[in-house]
Chains A and B, each alone.
Chain A
Amino acid sequence: EAGVAQSPRYKIIEKRQSVAFWCNPISGHATLYWYQQILGQGPKLLIQFQNNGVVDDSQLPKDRFSAERLKGVDSTLKIQPAKLEDSAVYLCASSLDLSTVSTQYFGPGTRLTVL
């Protein structure tokens, strides 16, 4: 069974530029999550989708971050414009459905460096 796929693995941009990350969850997984992990900290949930609907986006900085999962499968997370403090690893995870939120499968992450 293929795991959670993410791309790109690494991205370097200048501040005020925009960037997008892509995630393809495990086949059949209805719930998808985006996390931000700053160096030395644990992952922090940014947004959670159930199929193509948002379940929780309370910690998403909506003035600059946006995410979509239009067809309920893969998802894109965008930052526009980026700030220095956005430098982090962005992790995507999926779970079978809302009843198994606690058992999540994570992708390898995208390491973003904002200069």
Chain B
Amino acid sequence: DAKTTQPTSMDCAEGRAANLPCNHSTISGNEYVYWYRQIHSQGPQYIIHGLKNNETNEMASLIITEDRKSSTLILPHATLRDTAVYYCIVSVTGTASKLTFGTGTRLQVTL
């Protein structure tokens, strides 16, 4: 699986958009980009994933660059409850899929 690089920490004001970047310059053509988050004292929670096209769901949007070497997770209106560690993971899908977590980005949402 390709490795990812994320900033160690970020701050965001409540109500503003949180943009979390991820570099995955060695991603293969059949690897997806997944995002999970882990709120303090809880297990990780799936957020979103994508291959090439931008994706949006009720939690977030995922923007993947055309060369697929980087992506950005966007929380459009961050709240205090979005304070968590966000993990960007690249992996194939299907039976060969494996989630390899790095250290992630610690997002602190403030008033």
Enumerate chain A interface residues (CB-CB to B < 8 A).
Answer: 4, 40-45, 56, 91, 93, 98-99, 101-109
Q: How far is the CA of A109 from the CA of B49 in the complex (A)?
A: 24
Name 6 A/B residue pairs within 8 A (Cβ), A-sorted: A42-B101, A43-B44, A99-B94, A101-B95, A101-B98, A108-B43
Q: How far is the CA of A44 from the CA of B44 in the complex (A)?
A: 12
Interfacial chain A residues near B102, Cβ < 8 Å: 42
Question: Which range holds the interface residue count of chain B?
Answer: 20 to 34
Q: Would A106 and B101 be within 8 Å (CB), given that A42-B87, A99-B95 are in contact? A: no
The listed residue (B41, B44, B49, B104) touching A102 by CB distance below 8 A is: B49
B38 CB to closest chain A CB (Å) equals 8
- A106 with B49: CB separation less than 8 A: no
B103 contacts partner chain A, Cβ-Cβ < 8 Å: yes
Q: Would A45 and B98 be within 8 Å (CB), given that A102-B49, A108-B41 are in contact? A: yes
By secondary structure, the B interface counts as loop
Using CB atoms, name the residue of chain B closest to A50: B95
Using CB atoms, name the residue of chain B closest to A102: B97
5 tightest A-B contacts by CB? Answer: A106-B43, A42-B101, A101-B97, A98-B95, A102-B97
Mask, B35-50, CB within 8 Å of A = 1, is 0000001111110010
- B98 with A56: CB separation less than 8 A: yes
The listed residue (A42, A56, A98, A104) touching B46 by CB distance below 8 A is: A104
- B95 with A104: CB separation less than 8 A: no
Using CB atoms, name the residue of chain B closest to A93: B43
A41, A42, A99, A103: residue with the most chain B Cβ atoms closer than 10 Å: A42
